[in-house]
Amino acid sequence: MRRMKKILGTALAAVLLAGCTAAPPADSGAAAEAEPPPAAIVFTDALGHEVILESWDRVASLYGSFAETWLLAGGTLAGTTEDAVSERGLELGEDVAVVGTVKEPSLEEVLALAPDFVILSADVTSQVKLHDALAAAEIPHAYYRVDAFADYLSMLEQFCRLTGREDLYEENGLAVQRQIDAVLAAAEDKTGPTALLIRAYSTGAKAKGDDNLAGVILRDLGADNLADRYESMLEDVSMEAVIAADPDFIFITTMGAEDSALAFMTETFENNPAWAGLSAVRSGRCVLLPKELFHYKPNRRWGESYVYLAEILYPELAGQIQ
C-alpha cells in the first residue's frame, strides 16, 4: 500500500485532481516543516479550506451518499453515518463503525477511529462546525457539495485518482455521463412544458428550483420550472400560488417521513376543491417522484433519474432512451 501511495503521489503531481493545486515550492526562507510532504495530495475543498492528504487508508464519511461514492471509487470505510444503511442500503461490514447521524455525527466516535481522511458535507451546519475540532486534532478532512451530476462526477474522479481505479471512474461515472448525454440529445428539440417542483415535508411545502437535483434535471430537459417565476413559492407554497401558476406538470418530492409529508399535501392541497381543476391534476400529470432517484443523491443511477423524468415530460421518447 505504501508503494501504491508513492506511485499515486507521483502520478497526481503530473495530472492534478480537479480543483486541486500542487504544493508550491518553498521560498528560500521558509521553514522545511511548513512544506507538505513530497507525496502529499493538496487541494481546496468546497468551503475553501486547503486539504493536505498523505494517506487514505482509514476513511470516515459523515454522509451516506459520499460514503457510497467512496465505495464506488474502490475505497474502503472505517466509519460512516446511519443514513448509509437506512437510506442507501449499503452493506457495511462489522469492521465499519456507525458514528451517529448526518445532522448529529459523534465527534468522539470519529476521533476514536483514528481516521486519516474524513469526508463531510458542506451543506450540513453541524458538520461545518466540526472543522476547527478536526483541524485541532490534525485529522485531514474535506467538505464536498453535490447538487448536480457534474458535482458527483468531479467527486468520483477525485476519489478514483486517490484509489487508482480509473476503471471505476469509467464504469460509475463516464458511462453514466454518456447515458445522460443521450437523453439530453433526444430531448433537445422538444418544446418544454411548464412544471412545478414541490418538496413536501410533515409541516410544509416549498417550490424548488435548480438548487435541487430534480430541479437541475428539469432545467436540463428543457422544462419551464415555474418556481423561477414565482419566487415567493420558494419559501412557502400556497394553494393560491399553485392555482395562479397552473403548471402542465406537478412533481412532488418528500423530505423526512413520506407518509407525513403526503398527509400534509392531502390536507393542504388535495382536499381543496380547486386542486381537481388544475391542468396537471386533470391530465394525470401530478407525479410523486421516487426518493432513491430524486431526493437522495442517485450517484451511479443519475442516468436513470434523467430517463425517468424525460419519459414523463416527453412520452414519445419512451422506449427510445434507456
Q: What does 140-164 look like in DSSP terms, one character per residue?
A: -EEEE--SSHHHHHHHHHHHHHHHT
Q: State how far the Cα of 132 lies from the Cα of 229, in Å rounded to an integer.
A: 40
Domain boundary among 88, 116, 145: 145
Considering the domain boundaries, does residue 180 fall inside one? no
**Please, which residues bridge with residue 98 across strands?**
80
Residue 228 clears pLDDT 60, i.e. is over it: yes
- Amino acid 319: pLDDT: 81
- Amino acid 231: pLDDT: 75
Q: State how far the Cα of 132 lies from the Cα of 322, in Å rounded to an integer.
A: 46
Asked whether the beta carbons of 230 and 207 are under 8 A apart, the reply is yes
Count of CB atoms situated within 10 Å of the CB of 6? 12
Percent of the chain with pLDDT over 90: 75
Count of CB atoms situated within 10 Å of the CB of 160? 24
Domain boundary among 87, 120, 145: 145
Considering the domain boundaries, does residue 229 fall inside one? yes
Lowest mean pLDDT among 24-33, 67-76, 177-186: 24-33
- Amino acid 38: pLDDT: 64
Considering the domain boundaries, does residue 171 fall inside one? no
Residue 205 clears pLDDT 60, i.e. is over it: yes
Instruction: Please check whether residues 282 and 224 belong to one and the same domain.
Output: yes
- Amino acid 35: pLDDT: 62
- Amino acid 320: pLDDT: 83
Instruction: Please check whether residues 126 and 198 belong to one and the same domain.
Output: no
Instruction: Please check whether residues 210 and 305 belong to one and the same domain.
Output: yes
Task: Encode pLDDT of 239-295 as tens digits.
Answer: 888 898 899 999 999 988 899 999 999 998 999 999 999 999 999 999 999 999 999
Q: State how far the Cα of 91 lies from the Cα of 251, in Å rounded to an integer.
A: 31
Here the CATH number for the domain that contains residue 194 is: 3.40.50.1980
List the domain range (segments joined by +) for residue 121. Answer: 2-24+38-145
Instruction: For residue 44, report the phi and psi dihedrals to the nearest 5 degrees.
Output: -110, 130
Q: State how far the Cα of 320 lies from the Cα of 35, in Å rounded to an integer.
A: 55
Considering the domain boundaries, does residue 160 fall inside one? no
**Mean pLDDT comparison of 2-6, 208-212, 233-237, 251-255, highest-scoring range:** 251-255
Considering the domain boundaries, does residue 258 fall inside one? yes
Considering the domain boundaries, does residue 175 fall inside one? no
Considering the domain boundaries, does residue 164 fall inside one? no
| Average pLDDT of span 190-209 | 92
Instruction: Please check whether residues 133 and 241 belong to one and the same domain.
Output: no
Sheet (strand 79-80) strand order: 97-98, 79-80, 59-61, 117-121, 141-144
Instruction: Please check whether residues 119 and 226 belong to one and the same domain.
Output: no
Instruction: Please check whether residues 137 and 205 belong to one and the same domain.
Output: no
Q: What does 181-225 look like in DSSP terms, one character per residue?
A: HHHHHHHTTS-PPEEEEEEEETTEEEE--TTSHHHHHHHHTT-EE
Considering the domain boundaries, does residue 181 fall inside one? no
- Amino acid 142: pLDDT: 98
Domain boundary among 112, 145, 178: 145
Nine-digit cell string for 235: 419559501
Instruction: Please check whether residues 240 and 130 belong to one and the same domain.
Output: no
E-strand stretches of the chain? 41-44, 50-53, 59-61, 79-80, 97-98, 117-121, 141-144, 194-201, 204-207, 224-225, 249-254, 286-288
Nine-digit cell string for 224: 419551464
What confidence tier does 40 reach under pLDDT thresholds 50, 70, 90?
confident
- Count of structural domains within the chain: 2
Percent of the chain with pLDDT over 70: 88
Instruction: Please check whether residues 58 and 124 belong to one and the same domain.
Output: yes
Instruction: Please check whether residues 133 and 237 belong to one and the same domain.
Output: no
- Amino acid 36: pLDDT: 58
Lowest mean pLDDT among 109-113, 142-146, 225-229, 278-282: 225-229
Average pLDDT, the chain: 88
- Amino acid 300: pLDDT: 97
Instruction: Please check whether residues 212 and 108 belong to one and the same domain.
Output: no
